[in-house]
Amino acid sequence: MVKKAQKTPDWLQPEADRTQGPAQQQREEPKRRRRKDDDDLDAPEKKGIKWGPIVLLFMMTMPALLPTLLDVAAKLQTMGVINLDPSAIFEENKYRPCLQEFYADWAPDKLGTLDETLKKYEGKEKQMFAKLGKKYGKKYSLAKCS
């Protein structure tokens, strides 16, 4: 019996032997384009806020928080802490500048309650100015307000 010489597989042969074989030709690797990521590997990370994760977190939690926020706002409105009445926000009362001017001259401490006073006397602004004139002794002309 004749034993055949065992050949070692290509991957076990030393580097020099592998490249010399006629079946294997040495190929040149094509040049790769440099990506922006290649340059940034050694560079330190950029400073600043990463907005992507924050926006994602906000988008994930907002649908769950919205009913709670609406409930809290409704309870605060019932207690009188905030006023979310759309008519009070978007509609400007034509007597507001006149009352503001009157309060600025005669009762500056009441400027903070301007909207509440106008809401209380809504539709009865002339009576309100009559009461204020009687209280402070100053008659006020409503001709400017109309």
Question: pLDDT tens for residues 13-36?
Answer: 777 655 555 554 556 677 777 666
Question: pLDDT tens for residues 84-134?
Answer: 776 656 667 888 888 888 888 888 999 888 888 998 998 898 899 889 989
Predicted TM-score (pTM) of the model is: 0.40
Asked whether residue 62 carries a pLDDT value surpassing 80, the answer given is yes
Q: How far apart are CA 7 and CA 5, in angstroms?
A: 6
Asked whether residue 141 carries a pLDDT value surpassing 80, the answer given is no
Copy the structure tokens of residue 35: 């990506």
Name the amino acid, one letter, at 65.
L
